[in-house]
Structure 1
């Protein structure tokens, strides 16, 4: 009888874990702005530390912006995304790694963001991707600070 109770208890715990675990996912908000703390044409914040299953909500505070993944800056198996201009957009990130995001109209002006989901398994490859204009320096700064940001967890 004890083995049956133990098995039932474990099964109940597993079911509870499966139904409760999705509720543990977090939602992060990234604002798309014409002007922010770091200058003009920015995502704020420009870095987010997330976990698999977390949702990123891009909020169109100012018109004329979108959020699009950058080729070569996605973890293996992750789906690329591209929001409509001037529209809020949410995406749930399930694959571990770093995700490079740009505002398509303002990419060369440095309007980019970096999202680290779990372990940065594709970090080295993503850091080697070439970028136009101010995006190049902005990503260099974000990748330089990445180890410190990841250690802060």
Structure 2
């Protein structure tokens, strides 16, 4: 049985009007990134754009940072992990997931642990990479209210 990553549930079905609105939003972000933000060629050959003092690879991040700024609303119980590249982000996400979910997925349980099925980046998704990135998310604003807390 093929399983889907848990973060995919927040990109569930939408009405045609909602999908059209999301497409308009992402089109506007693409136009902003292409016409008004400083750009340069990145090391991958794809253009990079500068947004709020940081450079983003348009191929990797898409326009996710712009969408996160406008649409993400943190809840009091949310836990945000922040790390720099190559500093153990995958390990940090695995540890955080294991600690937060130790009651529902104890190490001694006979069931298969989610970390054996999914990559830690699927269990603890990056906001601008997996949830709001138009390259991977089919131009949809995710509904994060369907995700459990934290």
Task: Provide the TM-score with structure 2 as the length reference.
Answer: 0.21
Higher helix fraction: Structure 1 or Structure 2? 2
Higher RCO, Cα 8 Å, sep 6+: 2
TM-score, length of structure 1 as denominator length:
0.20
Q: From the CA coordinates, give the structure whose radius of gyration is larger.
A: 1
| Higher share in strand | 1
